[in-house]
Structure 1
Amino acid sequence: MRWTIKPKPEQKMVDALATALNVDGLVAHLLVQRGITNYEEAKKFFRPELKHLHDPYLMKDMDKAVHRIVKAIEDGENILVYGDYDVDGTTAVALMSSFLLERYPKVATYIPDRYTEGYGVSFKGIDFAEDNEFTLIIALDCGIKALDKVAYAKEKGIDFIICDHHRPGEQVPSAVAVLDPKQEDCSYPYKELCGCGVGFKLIQALAAEEGLGIDALLPYLDLVATAIAADIVPITGENRVLAYYGLEVINSQPRTGIKAIINQLKKNRLTITDVVFVIAPRINAAGRMEHGQHAVNLLVETNYAQAENFAKEIEEFNTDRKGLDRTITQEALQQIVANKEEEKYTSVVYQEDWHKGVIGIVASRLTETYYRPTLVFTKSGNKLAASARSVKGFDVYNALEACADCIEQFGGHKYAAGLTLLEEQYAEFKKKFEEVVSTTIDAKLLTPELHIDAILELNQITPKLMRIIKQFAPFGPGNMTPVFMTENVKDTGYAKGVGQEEAHLKMAVTKNGAGPISAIGFNLGKKLSLLKNHNSVAIAYTLDENEWNGNVSLQLKIKDIK
């Protein structure tokens, strides 16, 4: 890892904020790094309020979307709520459909099949709408590039409202309303909403038409927080408010389906990290292994006994997913080694029988191992489908755009995308992608970077500091957990490898009489030799709490040792 110490904020600004908030210099330093420079900004950061959310009508086409839904209800039309099969899509469908169904009965949901229809709006979905006399489709977390599909629906007398957050192409579909803050001509003040977040803005506008305030929508925020966590969008601005209150709902009054998932865990209070690594993979597993509709069924269920059955079924999907994920990752790693591709700028692998539902996870695992822009391909019908993952600082979406002449279709974000191409295009694409990346990437981006917020001494680490840092949560992109560095520390002599194959490192550190403070380094077992003979080392870490037998103690979570 490359350790990069973040630039020191201007001392005058830090001192002024420390005085204004009556906090010590370290806390003020961390706040200024996050762009918080005065009392009002700090108050908004530490005490997010629902009133900080923007007026939904600031979003382009919001008035058109609301008007069309109100008209559909008045005219007794059938409304189809359509969404992608991942966490963002299924939570958005659960949110929109449950909101509408509380007001109007003629609402149904549709999640495309990952294997027969692929990502986004499908012709099959539109045919389903026509066959069942739906005249309005609300598409969530997809649709911004569905020009031909929306035109096809129009021919059949079916209107579209699109709620998306992906990057638009040069043209947007001719829908009744296109809600996407990333449109260049959309002046909505916050651009980083997830798909479920855009859906939430639409129900916020619909609720306002009924004279309902934002508090009436609190019960929906567990879905929004789950989508924000799973989609790895920045937890800044409006997303921070939504995630903060959504976590409160998850921990106090979650909807029946989320409660059924949580009750399988032995955890009192969930953090955003728990949502990312515990709730989200289970919701995702439905679309990966079977069908995304299973996730929607769980998320809208109000009967607890039935929700428990759905949660058990999804737990089985998740167990199957884990097994496949391990097997395919091993096969992909072997392929990279066998083809002597470790020295390339990219990792591109293909096997026709790999399960399409887990290739995105496998791409993430390969990126962790080789730290290269990565694509994992499998056969999907008569085409090849791939999931792409990138390294920090490199825009894989732009790289794919440069390879557009050998791709059928693609979409996604800076760091994650999906694409399809014809089998005969694969070799040419693989060559072109390597060329594009090797000529455009800054070579240093191929080594993971660890950003360090501040240099600390061990005697500065106190329960009080831990309490304050916990108030910086929820953490995520744009507000990551602070990483500290301490130099010249020594292990007390009892460091050891723990866990399966001693993959993790347990230790206790001291410096100049301060400490010992216990520490754990996950997947750092190989660094044990650095601590022998009381060697002095530098450690990079986050502050953490260890719960054991009902006791809570401060510990360091080691990120790296040098």
Structure 2
Amino acid sequence: MLKPTTRWHVKTVDEQQAIQLAESLNVSPFIGKLLLGRGIAETAQAETFINKDEQAFYDPFLMDGMKEAVDRIHKAINDHESILVFGDYDADGVSSTSLLVRALRELGADASFYVPNRFTEGYGPNIPALEKAKEQGIGLVITVDTGIAAVEAARRAKELELDYIVTDHHEPPPELPEAYCIINPKKPGCPYPFKSLAGAGVAYKLAHALTGEQPSDLLALAAIGTISDLVPLVDENRLIASKGLDIINQGSFIGIEALLSVSSIERPVDSEHIGFGIGPRLNAAGRMDHAGPAVDLMLTNDPASANQLALDLDNLNQERKSVVDQMTRQALKQAEKQYDKGQKFFVIAGENWHEGVIGIVASRVVEKFYRPTIVFSINPETGLAKGSARSIEGFDIFQALSGSRDILPHFGGHPMAAGMTVASENLYLLSSRLNKYSDVMLTEDILTPLTTVDCECNVQDITIDVIQELNILAPFGVENPKPKFAIKNAHISGLRKIGKNQNHLKLAFTDNESSLDGIGFYLGDKYDQMTPDVQVSAVGQLSVNEWNGFRKPQMLVEDIKVDEWQLFDLRNEQKIQERLTKIPKEKRLMIAFHKQTIEQLELNQLEDEIYSFDDIDSEALKREYLVLLDLPNDRQQLKSLLQKRDFPERIYVIFHHTEEHFFSEFPARDHFKWLYAFILKQGSLNFSKMASSIARYKGWQKETVYFMAKVFFDLGFVKIDNGVMTVNPAPEKKPLTESRIYQQRREQMELEDIFCYSSYQSLKDWFNQRRLERSSIEEAASSELQGLY
């Protein structure tokens, strides 16, 4: 067996309904299944989903506060008031800020922007920045992607007689800021039909309302913010992302073009390019220094300036990667200790850790341990710790943290992520509360990573045409993920490890005459956990592999499993100890039937872990993997071992033995008859001297002659005194098979035949027979037990 690393949940849909839906859309049944799996069952709904160009944006004035905001902004433009767009320092905030500034300037507004410094000002609108804005003659402040929790800042703006409009998309706190108006689809009572816009999406809706039409060029910025912020790519977000990507692929703002260039992204640009190329570089500015240059890049119309700014962001991103790697190593050490203590929620902290990357480090910890995690950076001078939280599927981290608002002076976020500030002296209290909460809310199922599989398929179903057709479901992202497929119980071929560090897996799935290439990045450790004859199931995404002008379908394998027990043949393995140490210690039961085997195999370092047949305890018998280091004394000994326990998930066989009886001559009955007659005729003879002559005369092996003499002695047919052998004058009649020496030699030869020199398949058949026998015994016992009731 090979257990998967995640829980596989395969979506089930009505096959006939999927076929009918596919026929109505003139697409393949696969697309029909995928649409049903995404909750799209009606033809009209599916056509809208596929034909994105026909989908319409919602009326922006459906959003509460929109009319008041538009009227006030137009008044500011008409009265030549200076407008300040107050943004955030992540990719969504940068996109929102540049989007709204561009929209305002196109309307003739005197618009500038302000993004706080993460390290000196922290998250969100702050009082000093608003006071400075007032001093500079700003008449109107508009927040983007921030502000919904900044109650004190809003109160100070009112005191300053500074009109203050909040546009945000984060979860509203119990107390809302006292602003001129608030635009947030999640605001209580807001009738807007779609609640999951990103900050850039809300800014785009405001730009739409201000201009009276859909500003298509600004969709490029809205798409970057939407995709980078990991909001659900459904409904209006899907429309923004799709149309925005179209604009980017046609050629958009100079700053975006410069970022595509330094990121080595070629067209067509898709959501993955934004999420893993553009977004991280925009984020790097605010994480490592200040987000201002990122906004400048999105606003500039000068190619030279754009190229330099893009290069600066790329350099910051490289620096960010280095810092993240260093901090992650330190964070994982803390996480491992908390994991060993049984904690379900990790609270990790370090002095003077780079505040700009603690969110990324938290994500790395979650990837490794799959536990909700907060990573804090402690400022030893102020005694404050700034933290970034990341959650797992099914656990609302915003809700979990909401119970500790009394010790979180600054706090905000989503069900999957949050940011906060806490006094470092309260970190232990926070950890204690969160773990107490998690002990109730985090079940074992939630703590096991979940892989959602869109549908199962056969190897022959996967073609280049099918893979290309999947693109009609793009753009992919949260709640519209790239489809995952499962192949069930396929044979494999060409299994090997690849890559500089041999940490990737290459294989081919075969089914009848069809074949599908597969590659599993960072799955190289699975190589030693699969046998060539086994049938495997795999989950992954599909892609087209282009190489040397050839195009082939392939699966990017994410997880793999084997449902049947496996036999690992190590009978010719040279590096026994190295191979055995790769088997998880807590799962392996290593058995040596003969004590000398440990020394002969040079396994002295593992001696304390090796059991003899007579000292195996009940706990050891529960281990899933059975390792047989040498030959048993007889077959019954091994059969008895297999009956004492559940049949192993894996059996590793070495079957070390020093004497090779199988290739020795085993004398026939006539051989024994002739030798006995010869000894009887001689009366007595010095056997040690005569054995060689007898062997030469008969053409036997000398060892065979000695063996037959030992059988005669064992049966009482002869006596041996000082090397002289004489016939017992009145021996008891016994068959040769009564001799213990005869039985042992015959059994040893048969053991070697079955376990040492048989083919792999014959050996596996022998173990399979034992498995079936055990099943029969269990069934009989179960029937007998049922009969008692």
Name the residue aligned to 1:9.
Answer: 13
Q: For 1:41-440, what aligned pairs fall within 5 Å after superposition?
A: 41-49=45-53, 52-208=56-212, 213-214=213-214, 217-264=215-262, 265-338=264-337, 341=340, 343-380=342-379, 381-440=382-441
CA contact (8 A) 1:142 1:162 kept: yes
Go from structure 1 to structure 2 and tell me whether the alpha carbon gap of 1:42 and 1:336 turns closer, same or farther (over 3 Å shift).
closer
Q: Deviations over 1:220-271 (max 9, x none)?
A: 1111111111111111000111100111122221211111011120533222
Deviation digits for residues 84-115 of structure 1 (CA, Å, limit 9, x no counterpart): 10011110000000111123252111000001
Deviations 1:384-440 (A, max 9, x none): 100000001110000001222332221000000001011211111111111111222
What RMSD in Å do the two structures reach over aligned CA positions?
Answer: 1.6
**Cα distance change on mapping 1:23 and 1:269 into 2, 3 Å:** closer
TM-score computed with the length of structure 2 as normaliser: 0.68
In structure 1, the partner of 2:675 is none
Partner SS for 1:534:
coil
Contact 2:83 2:109 in 1 (8 A): no
Distance of aligned partners of 1:94 and 1:551 in 2 relative to their CA distance in 1, 3 Å threshold: farther
Single out whichever of 322-331 and 26-35 deviates more from structure 2.
Answer: 26-35
Query: 2: distance between equivalents of 1:378 and 1:144?
Result: 24
What percentage of residue pairs aligned between the two structures are identical? 36
SS of match in other structure, 1:451: strand
Q: Is the 8 A contact 1:247 1:270 kept in 2?
A: yes
Contact 1:496 / 1:507 at 8 angstroms: preserved in 2? yes
Relative to 1, partners in 2 of residues 1:41 and 1:173: Cα closer, same or farther, differing over 3 Å? same
- Counterpart residue identity of residue 331, structure 1: Q
For residues 407 and 549 of structure 1, the distance between their equivalents in structure 2, rounded to whole angstroms, comes to 57
SS at match of 2:531: helix
The list of structure 1 runs, each at least 4 consecutive aligned residues, that deviate by more than 6 angstroms after superposition, is none
Contact 1:336/1:342 (<8 A) preserved? no
CA distance in 2, matches of 1:245, 1:277: 19
For the residues of structure 1 that align with 2:359 and 2:147, how far apart are their CA atoms?
20
1:511 aligns with 2:507: no
Q: Distance in 1 between matches of 2:171 and 2:189?
A: 13
- Given that 2:145 and 2:167 are in contact with CA atoms closer than 8 Å, whether structure 1 keeps it comes out as yes
| Larger CA deviation: 524-533 vs 438-447 | 524-533
In the TM superposition, what is the alpha-carbon distance from 1:51 to its structure 2 partner?
A: 5.2
CA separation of 1:496 and 1:124: change in aligned 2, threshold 3 A: farther
Aligned residues of 2:25 and 2:47 also touching (Cα < 8 A) = no
Instruction: Give the conservation status (yes or no) of the 8 Å contact 1:341–1:347.
Output: no
CA deviations 1:284-343 (Å, max 9, x no partner) are 000001101111011111111110000111111001100000000001112233566463
The runs of 5 or more residues in structure 2 that have no matched partner are: 562-789
> 1: distance between equivalents of 2:246 and 2:549?
22
C-alpha deviations, 1:454-489, integer Å up to 9, x for none? 110011111221121111110112211111111122
CA drift of 1:490 comes to 2.5
Relative contact order higher in (CA < 8 Å, ≥ 6 apart): 1
Q: Does the 8 A contact of 1:492 with 1:508 survive in 2?
A: yes
Q: 1:162 is paired with a residue of what secondary structure?
A: strand
Residue 170 (structure 1) shift? 2.0
Distance 1:342 1:312, change over 3 A: farther
- Residue 201 of structure 1 deviates from its aligned partner by 0.2
> Which structure 1 residue ranges, 5 or more long, are not aligned?
none
Separation in structure 2 between the aligned mates of residue 391 and residue 88 of structure 1, nearest angstrom: 22
TM-score of the superposition, structure 1-length normalised? Answer: 0.95
Deviation of 1:187 after TM superposition, in Å, equals 0.6
Partner of 2:638: none
Q: Determine if contact 1:20/1:38 at 8 Å carries over to the other structure.
A: no
User: What SS is found at the alignment partner of 1:393?
Assistant: coil
